[in-house]
């Protein structure tokens, strides 16, 4: 493998600015201890980690290829679940390899380059792999972005970035799968993710977290822009729009439809194998084994929290629920995305 040469770059039509200190201080006072030095796009106001500022143009220019499969999600919408399912559909004859390698070694998580920028340390196994794949590569240009570009075979790639921050040719180039989850359960799942994170990203109350969610202050927000940008393109032949709740209710049917979209020739028995491979129990068990060596997935002990629908009811007060419902009505009005909450 060698790193491809940069082609002519498209102009990135947004700017990236620092989130104002006073906004960040207010968030920190509410318990967002891990929200420091954030940047955001302008005018779309997507808050992101600081390393994004220097990589924004590279994300916008990342070249997708016709044999790629791309998964897009808002965080906590079942990304890891669907990544495992996509990988299994593409690797039915070697499912046991999932025990050998983390999901992010099998699926390129493009956002890693700003969520967890690689330390500039040549001695780690990851950096050795990078140096071997991209001898001319520079860490600051994004390790995953360059590793993915250097991969010659069909790739599975995933990102939480909104469609508008990625290459405008994406949908016309390859198959794209989007998974949405109802905003109440996303919010609760995001809360647990930040609260349990070993980096102590959030240490406050659920009500403050939910206010920040509705205020579009969490990383990758605004939630509605994220879902809406894809929902409005759902008729595109290269796009397959899925719901977490549908997967929960009928995983066999959803995986069968997904396989058909991917033009993967799977028998019913194959689909059952994929469903079993990516079942909550199997994924949780795999994670328990793998975390013994490298620590918890994404720094979150108990990453596979419940994987259920309706967890919101256990944590939200009636008042918060009413405000959240109004927020949903205001934002879903006119686009009417058919979310289910139970
Ligand atoms: P909960 O926090 O509600 O348990 P993401 O991968 O986008 O971060 O999403 C994580 C959410 O998906 C978590 O939800 C997690 O438990 C759930 N999840 C992951 N794998 C799952 C599976 N196989 N079946 C059901 N839910 C799953």
In a domain, residue 137? The reply is yes
Query: Which of 304, 313, 316, when mutated, tests ligand 1's pocket best, judged by the most ligand atoms within 8 Å of its CB?
Result: 304
Instruction: Kindly give the pairing relationship between strand 47-48 and strand 69-73.
Output: unpaired
Query: Quick check: CB of 189 below 6 Å from ligand 1?
Result: yes
Give the predicted TM-score (pTM) of the model: 0.96
- In this structure, what token pair is assigned to residue 188? 């609760």
39-42 β-sheet, strand order = 15-18, 39-42, 47-48
pLDDT tens readout for residues 287-340? 999 888 888 989 989 898 899 999 999 999 999 999 999 999 999 999 999 999
Give the containing element (helix H, strand E) for 156.
strand 156-159
Distance 307 CA to ligand 1 centre (A): 5
Residue 325 lies in a domain: yes
Q: Say if CB 131 and CB 27 are below 8 A apart.
A: no
Q: Measuring from atom 25 of ligand 1, which residue has the nearest CA?
A: 307
Is 10 a member of any domain? no
83-110 confidence digits (pLDDT tens): 999 999 999 999 999 999 999 999 999 9
Structure confidence at residue 30 (pLDDT): 98
Instruction: Indicate the DSSP class of residue 4.
Output: P
Task: Return the closest-CA partner of residue 111 out of 176, 49, 53, 159.
Answer: 159
- Does 9 fall in a domain? no
What's residue 271's pLDDT?
Answer: 98
**Helices and strands: H and E segment counts in the chain:** 16, 8
- DSSP state string for 277-327: HTSHHHHHHHHHHHHHHH-SGGG-TT-S----S-GGGGT--HHHHHHHHHH
Cα of 286 from ligand 1 centre, angstroms? 14
Is residue 147 included in any domain, yes or no? yes
Three-point CA angle 136, 139, 140, nearest 5°: 115
- Residue 91 CA, ligand 1 centroid: distance in Å: 21
CA-closest residue to ligand 1 atom 27: 307
CA 143 to ligand 1 center in whole angstroms: 26
Q: Is 339 contained in some domain?
A: no
| Nearest ligand 1 atom to alpha carbon 160 | 7
- pLDDT higher than 70, residue 3: no
Nearest ligand 1 atom, CA 73: 7
Residue 119 lies in a domain: yes
Provide the β-strand partners of residue 72: 159, 178
Measured CA to CA, the distance from residue 137 to residue 149 in angstroms comes to: 11
Residue 160 domain flag: yes
pLDDT of residue 121: 73
CA of 187 to the centre of ligand 1 (A): 12
* pLDDT tens per residue across span 158-204: 999 999 999 999 999 999 999 999 999 999 999 999 999 999 999 99
Q: Which structural domain range is residue 181 located in?
A: 15-332
CA of 303 to the centre of ligand 1 (A): 8
* Domains held by the chain: number: 1
Q: Which residues contact 40 (CB under 8 A, 6 or more apart)?
A: 16, 17, 18, 19, 46, 47, 48
Shortest-distance Cα residue to atom 13 of ligand 1: 307
The model's confidence at residue 1, banded by pLDDT at 50, 70 and 90, is: very low
Q: What is the CATH number of the domain that holds 53?
A: 3.40.50.300
Ligand 1 lined by 73 (C-beta under 6 Å): yes
Separation of CA 76 and ligand 1 centre (Å): 7
């Amino acid at each position: 493998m060698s790193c491809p040469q940069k082609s002519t770059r498209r102009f990135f039509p947004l700017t990236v600015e620092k989130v104002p200190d006073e906004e960040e201080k207010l968030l920190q006072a509410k318990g967002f201890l891990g929200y420091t030095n954030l940047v955001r796009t302008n005018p779309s106001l997507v808050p992101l980690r600081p390393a994004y500022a220097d990589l924004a143009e590279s994300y916008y220019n990342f070249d997708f290829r016709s044999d790629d499969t791309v998964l897009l999600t808002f965080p906590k919408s079942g990304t890891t679940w669907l990544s495992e399912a996509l990988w299994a559909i593409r690797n039915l004859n070697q499912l046991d390899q999932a025990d050998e390698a983390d999901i992010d070694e099998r699926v390129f998580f493009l956002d890693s380059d700003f969520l967890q920028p690689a330390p500039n340390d040549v001695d780690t196994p990851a950096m050795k792999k990078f140096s071997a794949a991209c001898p001319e590569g520079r860490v600051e240009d994004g390790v995953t972005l360059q590793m993915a570009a250097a991969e010659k075979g069909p790739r599975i790639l995933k990102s939480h970035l909104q469609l508008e921050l990625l290459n405008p040719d994406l949908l016309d180039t390859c198959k794209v799968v989007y998974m949405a989850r109802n905003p109440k359960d996303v919010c609760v799942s995001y809360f647990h993710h930040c609260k349990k994170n070993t980096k102590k990203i959030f240490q406050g109350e659920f009500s403050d977290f939910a206010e920040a969610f509705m205020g579009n202050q969490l990383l990758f927000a605004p939630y509605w822009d994220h879902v809406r940008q894809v929902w409005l393109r759902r008729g595109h032949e290269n796009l397959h729009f899925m719901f977490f709740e549908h997967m929960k209710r009928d995983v066999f049917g959803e995986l069968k439809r997904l396989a058909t979209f991917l033009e993967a020739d799977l028998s019913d028995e194959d689909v059952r194998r994929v469903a079993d491979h990516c079942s909550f129990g199997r994924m949780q068990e795999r994670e328990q084994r793998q975390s013994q060596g490298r620590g918890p997935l994404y720094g979150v002990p108990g990453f596979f929290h419940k994987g259920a629908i309706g967890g919101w009811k256990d944590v939200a007060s009636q008042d918060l629920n009413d405000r959240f419902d109004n927020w949903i009505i205001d934002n879903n009005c006119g686009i009417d995305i058919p979310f289910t909450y139970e």
